[in-house]
Amino acid sequence: MTDGSKKISCMGVVGDGCGGGREFIIEGGELFAYDALSKKSIILLKDIKNAQNISKKSCILTIECSDGVFEFDLSLMKKI
């Protein structure tokens, strides 16, 4: 469980839909996409409470929190 200071992340596999080769990180209640080649990151979503896990399949990030699970669609760039 994150207390706002711990980092939870997963890697996007190249060729597996959106975000291939990028690391997706939840830290401080924010979801970031980090590109190791450019060394840049962007904030995708804010106000994530008590995140416990993140995983990626195709263009969908699944974020597990202590009070439920939600998905973020990378192709739409929004929570679904």
Q: 8-79 has which CATH code?
A: 2.40.10.480
Query: Would you report the helix, strand and coil content of the chain in percent, each value rounded to 5?
Result: 0, 55, 45
Q: Which residues of 8-27 are buried (b: 16+ CB within 10 A; e: fewer)?
A: bebebeeeeebbeebbbbbb
Domain boundaries, the chain: 8-79
Write the pLDDT tens digit of every residue in 16-66. 878 889 999 999 999 999 999 999 999 999 999 999 999 999 999 999 999
CB-based contact 12:20 (threshold 8 Å): yes
Residue-wise pLDDT tens digits, 4-29: 557 899 999 988 878 889 999 999 99
